[in-house]
Amino acid sequence: MIGGSTAERELAELKPWPNPAPAITREERLARLAKAQSLMTTDALIIGAGASLRYFAGVGWNATERMVAMLLPKRGEPVMICPRFEEGSLRASLGIEAPMRLWEEHENPAVQAAQVLAEWGAASLAIDPALAFAMFDALRLAAPEVVMVNAAPVVDGCRSIKSPAELALMSQAKAMTLEVHRRAARILAPGITTGEVRRFIDQAHRALGADDGSSFCAVQFGEASAYPHGLPGEQKLQDGDLVLIDTGCRVQGYNSDITRTYVFGQPTQDQLRVWQVEKKAQAAAFAAVKPGVLCEEIDAVARRVLAEEGFSADYELPGLPHRTGHGTGLSIHEAPYLVRGDKTPLQPGMCFSNEPMIVIPGEFGVRLEDHFHVTEDGAAWFTPPQPAIDRPV
């Protein structure tokens, strides 16, 4: 690694996070299930493996072709659907108590789910919006008499409002990533590659005790920063390049996602002006946050700042090519969204990114991304925004 001794020294100084946030308790998960039942307009709900199953049942498994799911009745206790050979692992992962219906490899798990619904007398079922179509289709065929609807109002109605315990886990994840940003800036040197920086960031997240290193990492130098999600291949750092680093990690499943854009060397007047407008737009979006304000209004506020400064008020470039922000929690991106058309009223406990990027095609881009949560009278940053174009932290 170019500047390897610096990187090694930075990594050697890192230790696991000294005051880890407590885990989500069984009692909190039971309260989540009760809230889901209060929001349900159907007789039952199905949640497949993924972030929502972790939210409700504590099972941090990714979705595969095998059905692992929770069935929740409008009244009563949940039932887990699971491959028989995974029973022990699932029981060890569960954060609640629930009986299991087990299926063998040659069997159709949708039939097991349909049998449970029949036992409950369920005539309607809310489907996890993240459930694979193949599983939905199998359920539809196994229970043709059951009316099936989208469970997004229930899932989002629960997950969009974070508890104090969730906010604490998210705060830890974001503080860890900000520390990684601080140290990544210190290893930069002429000729270092984007790949070398990504590897350092992953190792740094691991050293701090993140669930699995970096959950993602985008490193972009120079013109590549004009592409919101970068370009394929490696870049080497040169004097005067803008450096855009967007990265995050997970702590007990909860995500961080912070972007810093700064100059390596001395900024040009154009770079400095665009960075300052970006900073102004991000600050205006944050200041506009109040309970009851519609999500789309936060996006509109950022775009009005850009329009006043001579950039597009829509998606044309130079300007902001994407939404101003996204909800975040157990998924990096989750509902609701700070985007035109999302008329969800802001509520205390909602958490969002704030990242009204400015792209100058063929030259560079600037994205400052920090996260906030809605409070009773406004918003609170999880981590302090970037102070200057030559100071990432």
Predicted confidence band at 2 (pLDDT cuts at 50, 70, 90)?
Answer: low
b/e per residue 54-67 (b: at least 16 CB within 10 A)? bbbbbbbbebeebb
Residue linked to tokens 């909860």: 254
Report helix, strand or coil for 359. strand
Report the share of the chain in percent with pLDDT over 90.
Answer: 99
Reported as a single tens digit per residue, the pLDDT across 244-275 is 999 999 999 999 999 999 999 999 999 999 99
Quote the CA–CA distance of 219 and 52 in Å, as a whole number: 29
Quote the CA–CA distance of 167 and 173 in Å, as a whole number: 10
Predicted confidence band at 197 (pLDDT cuts at 50, 70, 90)?
Answer: very high
ω into 190 cis (within 30 of 0): no
Is the pLDDT at 236 greater than 60, yes or no?
Answer: yes
Tokens for 107? 């069997």
Is the pLDDT at 56 greater than 70, yes or no?
Answer: yes
Is the pLDDT at 5 greater than 60, yes or no?
Answer: yes
Partner residues linked to 249 by β-bridges:
214
Helix 194-208 and helix 164-187, axial crossing angle in degrees, nearest 10: 140
Reported as a single tens digit per residue, the pLDDT across 317-355 is 999 999 999 999 999 999 999 999 999 999 999 999 999
pLDDT at 368: 98
Provide DSSP, 10-68: HHHT--S-SSPPPPPPHHHHHHHHHHHHHH--SSEEEEETTHHHHHHH---PPP-SS--
Predicted confidence band at 106 (pLDDT cuts at 50, 70, 90)?
Answer: very high
Report helix, strand or coil for 15. coil
Residue linked to tokens 């499943």: 253
Partner residues linked to 251 by β-bridges:
254
Is the pLDDT at 3 greater than 70, yes or no?
Answer: no
Q: Are 181 and 245 in contact (CB under 8 A)?
A: yes
Tokens for 283? 């600050």
Give me the chain's average pLDDT, please.
Answer: 97
Quote the CA–CA distance of 351 and 147 in Å, as a whole number: 33
Is the pLDDT at 122 greater than 60, yes or no?
Answer: yes
pLDDT at 31: 98
Please give the average per-residue pLDDT across 149-161, as a whole number. Answer: 98
Predicted confidence band at 4 (pLDDT cuts at 50, 70, 90)?
Answer: confident
Please give the average per-residue pLDDT across 348-367, as a whole number. Answer: 98
Predicted confidence band at 124 (pLDDT cuts at 50, 70, 90)?
Answer: very high
Q: Are 136 and 129 in contact (CB under 8 A)?
A: no
| Cβ atoms within 10 Å of 235's Cβ, excluding its own | 20
